[in-house]
Amino acid sequence: MVPYLVKARGNLYADGNLFIYDHDGHLVFLLLYVDDIIVIGNHPSFIASLLATLGQDFNLKDLGRLHYFLRLQFDYTPAGLFVHQTKYATDLLHKFSMSECKPCKTPCTPNAHLIANDSPLLPNPIVYKSMLGALHYLTLTRPNLSFAVMGSPTSNHLLATECILRYLQGTIHQGLVFTLGPLTLSAYTDADWAGDPMDRKLIYGILVFLDNSPITW
């Protein structure tokens, strides 16, 4: 049998880079990004035959078990799959000359609110924007860093961003653990009342779990 790939399963549309094979009890997910491919399925022998078939038309190289992909690191532990960005975080601290900075215990000062025009505007906000962009990518495995400051950067905004980097210095090995379990979906959310000092809008957060594994926030 020649394996076939489809982009959607049933009537559900999938990501344009995600291909799903579901036939005769064989289920395979193939995620494609440029020239890198992640393959996972319920029968290792069938995955091997699928890769062999694809190898007839494409130049493939099997790198074995997934350990590094798009700056994400994957460690296999007895507790489950540990996904982290330790190398990326280390490189980030080095890039902004904070490899030797003193760690702090929290990513920001509790109950602190940054407001516009509370300090002078940065004469050259390029470094600040670069820091913020790099930290946004780190939130793929660090939901505790997801609350970020945007807008016209002032010197206080830069100090707050440097505080996040100092917090990162002390928590550089943290990440997410994914474990096997029932497919139970649960969500948690919290919000304050008129917490934004600028427009009095509420500030809220949400965290969604599939069993014990966080999947979005």
* Encoded tokens for 29: 């997910």
Distance between CA 175 and CA 181 in Å, rounded?
19
- How does pLDDT run across 176-203, given as a tens digit for each residue? 999 888 889 999 998 888 777 777 778 7
The reported pLDDT for the residue numbered 126 is: 86
Question: Which pTM value belongs to this model?
Answer: 0.76
The reported pLDDT for the residue numbered 76 is: 93
If you ran DSSP here, which 8-state letter would residue 139 be given? T
Lowest pLDDT segment from 3-12, 84-93, 105-114, 189-198: 3-12
pLDDT average, residue stretch 126-139: 89
Encoded amino acid at 190, one letter = D
The reported pLDDT for the residue numbered 124 is: 81
Residue 11 has pLDDT above 70, yes or no: no
- How does pLDDT run across 148-183, given as a tens digit for each residue? 545 567 788 888 888 889 999 999 999 999 988 888
Residue 213 has pLDDT above 80, yes or no: yes
The reported pLDDT for the residue numbered 8 is: 41
Nearest CA to 87 out of 43, 130, 132, 138 is that of 138
Lowest pLDDT segment from 40-49, 116-125, 144-153: 144-153
**Residue 178 in contact with residue 83, Cβ under 8 Å?**
yes
